[in-house]
Amino acid sequence: MSNSPTTTNRHGSSNPSRPILNPAAPPSAPLLPPPTADRPGFALALLQFAATPSVDDHIRLAAAVHFKNHLRSRWAPSPAAAAAEEPLSSSAPEKEQVKSVLVSLMLAALPRVQPQLSEALAVVSSHDFPQSWPALLPELVASLRNAAEANDYRAVNGLLGAAASLFSKFRISFDNNALRLDLKYCLDVFAAPLLEVFLKTSRLIAGNVAGPPDTLRPLFESQRLCCDIFHSLNSVELPEFFEEHMREWMTEFLAYLGTAYSPAVEAEGTVDALRASVCENLQLYMEKNEEELKDYLNDLASTVWKLLLTPGSSPSRDQLTVTAIKFLTTVSTSVHHSLFGSPEVLQRICSSIVFPNIRLREEDEELFEINYIEYVRRDIEGSDIDTRRRIACELLKGIALNYKEQVTTLVSMQIQEMLKVYAVNPGENWKEKDSAIYLVVALAPKAGSSGGYLVDVESFFTSVILPELQEQDVNAAPMVKAGALKFFTVFRDQIPKQAAMALLPHLARFLMSESNVVHSYAANCIEKLLLVKDRVTVSGSDVVTLTPRYGPLDINFFLPQLMTNLFSALQFPESQENPYIMKCIMRTLGISNVNSEVAAHCICRLAFVVSEVCKNPRNPTFNHYLFELIAALIGRSGEKDQALIPVFDASVFPVLWKILVDDMTKFWPYAFQIFAQLVEMSKPPLSDNYMQLFHVLLSPENWKRSGNVPALVRLLQAYLQKVPNELKDEGRLHQVVQISIGLLSASRTEELGFYVLNTVAENLSCEIVAPYFRDIWNAIFTRLQNRRVAKFVNSFVIFMSLILVKHGPSILVESTDSLQKGLFMQILQPFWIPNLKLISGATEMKLASVAATRLICASPVLLDPSFSELWGKMLDSIIILLAQPDQYKGELENGEADILETLGYSTAFARLHYGGKKEEDPLKEIRDPKEFLVTSLSRLSASYPGRYRTVIEKCVDPANQAALLQLCTTFNCAIV
């Protein structure tokens, strides 16, 4: 590939109108490809290898795969390459040469090579079609008609596969005018030829119904591809052509659903794959074109229903079953639900479709035993919607929307029958109980929905679930145990607290089950149980609050055994990085009162887990919960018992330091946040280890990684609070100021820059900071010239407020005016006054209002009579700020907020909920900012009787005057 898109290809013609490859007469020996992908002609050389008969078949396949992947990365430049002005895309002449021969070479390719070239064609068309490749679709249509006329279904299917890839964008792209223009072009050119081929192939199949699989397989595959294209071309809306020819399509769809072929053909699976595609198209029409489909719906629905009653064991039967039931489910919830209304139909659907499909099959048992992660993902994470079990229950729920009484009766009878069969021989018939439990759980209404339960939950729990949970052998009938634990988890809100607490020791026992699924479900059950909240009405009011049902007193007694079992469960094979176990540990310790002995034991175990994970990080969710747990343990236990801090230091610091030394960049944000906690808890002077970490913290290289920055700011704030005087040494404060200025320069980090400056203003003496004020103000005001958005200005107001309350109004005014005379008054009216009333957050509102109050009551600048109007406007903004309702209640208590299920690793910052910086009030001495306002005004007005009362009447809004009067009355103050 050349470095310039206009470089002539040195290995072929530079004339794009004359292809270098002739599929009809390939050269006897292929040209060697250029040694690297950057050389000109590389794509063409790969394509030549894939198309040359004299080359070994395996090499041709490898060349085709490489060609496809090469086009993916080089056909069009990536956004990153374009931003860096790197011309990494193929040259224009080479692109034209590839497009001119790709279709013909794909048709002539080996059967194994053809799909790769078809995918390559899709790659090119995704960038160039139709605008830059107008010849493609006419070429496909002409080739398709020729191949169909010659009954060459290898070529037909290759062309249809390419077209299917071409049109797939209509399924996944957002609807807009450009997409509709492309769709219209494709419909105009391809819709009629598609129907021609579809009908021609239908006639061939109809004339050879009893034919052998080898004969019918390519024909059924052709029809499946036609159905795939049908779906894509109908995804945006119903095209006029398909509406006009709906009878032809629906007639053939009905034929494939209702025709039985020879056992050999049925077993082969291609016909079931076709039927599944037909059902997907019917589902699409039910969702988008129900009115147009209604004339065919009765026959189609009954045929699909009968098809599901027909046993089959083809490889595509699962897919067919799922898509067919989806279609029937949609019908059952539509205005055509009466198709299922008769008692006989309901009985037959339940007994012949629903109940058989919710039974465990061999593959379910295998998945349970050999791939617990996938089993759990399907079963409790809601990704089983496309399994037979789940979709069968969805059909039952769909029918129950209109026939709930009948469905409830049928389900109840079926559950009783299953449990009766189970009771006869529990060892042999355990699958009956599993199916009964699954039915009840799957039919439970979703949280917040209005649907009721199809069974008596409490009765079922007592008679069916409780015996399983109380059984001493945690390894017996593991699939039934897993079902019982899932039931408890799903219905945890309905289980009385006393009953749930009695079962907590049993849940802890199941953590020791040898089954990965069972101990994962037990951990998940405990974790979800501890999140349950009850709606409680506040005494004497109509206010309803959500109160945690379970607190520290409920689990403290069980905590040692629970922790022992949870950590032991992490030792089971394949559960060393089990996210359900780690999340359960995190949740349990997050809400319990952890004593020193338990905390010390846990932190040592967790440090060991971190060191093991660092060897090969595999599960981002597990890792996040792991660090979240360490943060929770340090934050909650360290505050209560200072003697634990050396224990935490000894266990955690070496592991986190090794993360930095070994350049485990994925974990750096976690490490910095936990380091911040350790620094905050340490007593000055800090150890050499922490001062060495401070040196690492100030290294400019570490601030270049965007994912590190919020965590580095968090750590820097901890150092500024803990060792402010050490900043005078070795030019550290200069480095800190330069870091904050760098953060201020970008919109995504400007707020973080203010966090650093706020901490500097709050913790360092004026003598230390004064030499840097000029640089700080210069950076802020330069940014302010182009960045006048509310977010930036509000942060600016908070920073000025901190300087004012910590160092006094004169320092604030003099430091800004040192940059330019009178600058402070120039920023007061356009920035501070209008944005003051927009400040939010309880601490921020208090800080801003107190600072503004001191400004108007103690600063000589605003006490000058010539600035009376400005004084009145500032007071007006203060009143608006303080009159806001108390809607900012601070952070949630530790343990209440749920943690994101999946975070992954990226440039995005992974914040630790339990490692967050605690909000501190910089004005603890001031109890109420409203009282501070009126008492300050009262003292000021007493010194200048009548003056400020007049200003208030003239410059403050009447509504705010009334609010101020009310505050004066409340605090027994007067403005004279």
For range 247-256, the mean pLDDT? 96
For range 935-942, the mean pLDDT? 93
pLDDT tens digits for range 346-378: 999 999 999 999 999 898 999 999 999 889 988
Q: For residue 545, report the phi and psi dihedrals to the nearest 5 degrees.
A: -115, 155
pLDDT of residue 5: 37
For range 802-831, the mean pLDDT? 91
pLDDT of residue 221: 96
For range 226-234, the mean pLDDT? 97
Given the structure tokens 């035993």, which residue do they identify?
Answer: 369
What are 211's two structure tokens?
């034919």
pLDDT tens digits for range 939-974: 999 998 989 999 999 999 999 999 999 999 999 999
For range 531-545, the mean pLDDT? 84
For range 28-43, the mean pLDDT? 57
Among 40, 104, 103, smallest CA distance to 74 is for: 40
Among 74, 97, 69, 72, smallest CA distance to 86 is for: 74
pLDDT value at 919 more than 70: yes
pLDDT value at 609 more than 50: yes
pLDDT tens digits for range 319-346: 999 999 999 999 999 999 998 888 998 9
CA distances from 702 to 527, 657, 660, 663, 707 (A): 36, 14, 10, 11, 10
User: Residue 237 CB: number of other CB atoms within 10 A?
Assistant: 12
pLDDT value at 205 more than 60: yes
pLDDT value at 386 more than 80: no
- Measured CA to CA, the distance from residue 541 to residue 544 in angstroms comes to 8
pLDDT value at 32 more than 80: no
- Percentage of the chain with pLDDT > 90? 57
What are 972's two structure tokens?
């027994």
CA distances from 602 to 211, 484, 564, 606, 628 (A): 69, 30, 9, 6, 13
pLDDT value at 811 more than 90: yes
CB 216 within 8 A of CB 264: no
**Strands (DSSP E) along 682-727, which ranges?**
none
Query: Would you give the distance in Å from CA 542 to the centre of its chain?
Result: 37
For range 651-677, the mean pLDDT? 94
286 Cβ contact partners less than 8 Å away, ≥ 6 residues apart:
293, 297, 327, 330, 331, 334
830 Cβ contact partners less than 8 Å away, ≥ 6 residues apart:
none
**Per-residue 3-state assignment (H helix, E strand, C coil) for 322-390:** HHHHHHHHHHHCCCCHHHHCCHHHHHHHHHHHHHHHCCCCHHHHHHHHHCHHHHHHHHCCCCCCCCHHH
| pLDDT top residue among 121 and 192 | 192
What are 804's two structure tokens?
């004012």
CB 87 within 8 A of CB 6: no
Task: Write down how long the chain is.
Answer: 976
For range 377-391, the mean pLDDT? 75
Among 793, 802, 799, smallest CA distance to 827 is for: 793
Q: How confident is the model at residue 916 (pLDDT cuts 50, 70, 90)?
A: confident
CA distances from 33 to 11, 45, 114 (A): 9, 5, 21
pLDDT of residue 210: 87
pLDDT value at 9 more than 70: no
pLDDT of residue 3: 39
Q: How confident is the model at residue 590 (pLDDT cuts 50, 70, 90)?
A: confident
CA distances from 243 to 185, 293, 415 (A): 17, 10, 45
Range with the poorest average pLDDT among 361-365, 378-382, 714-718: 378-382
pTM of this structure: 0.77
pLDDT of residue 446: 65
pLDDT value at 30 more than 50: no
| pLDDT top residue among 265 and 76 | 265
Q: For residue 536, report the phi and psi dihedrals to the nearest 5 degrees.
A: -125, 130
Given the structure tokens 């906690």, which residue do they identify?
Answer: 677
Angle between helices 709-722 and 668-681 (to 10 degrees): 10
Burial bucket for residue 24 (CB in 10 Å: 0-12, 13-18, 19+): exposed
| pLDDT top residue among 199 and 975 | 199
For range 788-816, the mean pLDDT? 92
pLDDT of residue 884: 65
pLDDT tens digits for range 619-652: 999 999 999 999 999 988 888 888 899 999 999 9
Among 30, 49, 150, 41, smallest CA distance to 109 is for: 49
pLDDT tens digits for range 167-203: 998 998 888 898 999 999 999 999 999 999 999 999 9
Among 947, 960, 935, smallest CA distance to 863 is for: 947
Q: How confident is the model at residue 569 (pLDDT cuts 50, 70, 90)?
A: very high
